[in-house]
Amino acid sequence: MITVNKENLPVHIGFIMDGNGRWAQKRGLPRKFGHREGAAAFRKIARYCKKIGIRYITFYAFSTENWSRPKDEIDELMKLFGEYIDEVSDYAEENTRLIFLGDKSAFGKEMADKMSELERNSRDFSDMTLMLAMNYGGRNDIVHAARQIAAMVENKEIRHTDVDESLISGLLYTGGIPDADLIIRPSGEKRLSNFLIWQSAYAELYFTDVLWPDFTPKELDKALEDFASRKRRFGGV
Ligand code: FPP
């Protein structure tokens, strides 16, 4: 169990769930089995974060670039998302708010409607906020905000001089959510891959060689201990 003091825990953690394919390949299994195990790891980590009092968690589940993967892999991921969405509809008692980051319309009307309904029904739940980045890209997030701003200027609701960081932050898919404090990427890759690029401007980055399906609460404890030992200066001294 975590030994870090509560005040040294990150408020918002972002997880890049990488390494599912390699996890499966190492076992001679098709990649989709890795995603299934990855989904199990996601559930365990989300539950653990709530237990230890993390307020905001974001998982990179499907990027705007992932549509170029083979059809059977995409089908499996859509199946896993669908199963999760149906499952969470049943646990309002969890008191967890759900937000989907990205353009939902790509998932078809039925699924997009369920996603919006979950967001609506959970909006007052306050123990934890769980964000799933699905059909998400950090640059696309900024473009989406920029278009809203352009429309506001065009409609003369604001002037160009009103555009500042807080206006942009508020119009991102994460509008109203604190910036990420810690980004965790397993599987040995050391990059952000277009995940929360605006929101992680001052985030601490944690990389580990463990593959996502093997990323257990114990691995998260290690990341949290490492985070607690870092000195965050936010550009100061
Ligand atoms: C990257 O690993 C992972 C993804 C593209 C998908 C992540 C999705 C899940 C873990 C399922 C989440 C499920 C729910 C219900 C939210 P990779 O396939 O690129 O792995 P590799 O780098 O080893 O090939």
Widest distance between CA atoms in the chain? 59
Does residue 74 form part of some domain? yes
Is residue 148 assigned to a domain? no
Give the residue, out of 16, 20, 73, 84, with the most ligand 1 atoms within 8 A of its beta carbon, to mutate for a pocket test.
20
Q: Is 133 in the pocket of ligand 1 (CB under 6 A)?
A: no
How far CA 124 is from CA of 100, 119, 127, 161, in Å, comes to 15, 10, 10, 34
Identify whether 236 is part of a domain: no
The helix or strand, by DSSP H or E, that contains position 129, with its residue range, turns out to be strand 128-136
Q: What angle do CA 199, 125, 133 make, to 5 degrees?
A: 35
Angle at Cα 73 formed by Cα 72 and Cα 77, nearest 5°?
115
pLDDT score of 1: 72
**In this structure, is residue 155 part of a structural domain?**
no
Each residue's pLDDT tens digit, 147-173: 999 999 999 999 999 999 999 999 999
Provide the domain limits for residue 127.
Answer: 7-137+180-228
Long-range CB pairs of 65-71, under 8 A, 24+ apart, other chains included: 65/137, 65/194, 67/106, 67/135
72 token code pair: 């059977």
Tally of domains in the chain: 1
CATH number of the domain to which 75 belongs: 3.40.1180.10
Q: Which of 35, 96, 135, 195 to mutate to test the pocket of ligand 1 (most atoms within 8 A of CB)?
A: 35
Query: What is the mean predicted confidence (pLDDT) over 27-42?
Result: 97
C-alpha–C-alpha distance, residues 97 and 23, integer Å? 30
Ligand 1 centroid – CA 36 distance (Å): 9
What pTM, to 2 d.p., does this model score?
Answer: 0.96
Read off the pLDDT band of 92 (50, 70, 90). Answer: low
The tens digit of pLDDT for each residue in 21-33 reads 999 999 999 999 9
What's the mean pLDDT in 98-102? Answer: 97
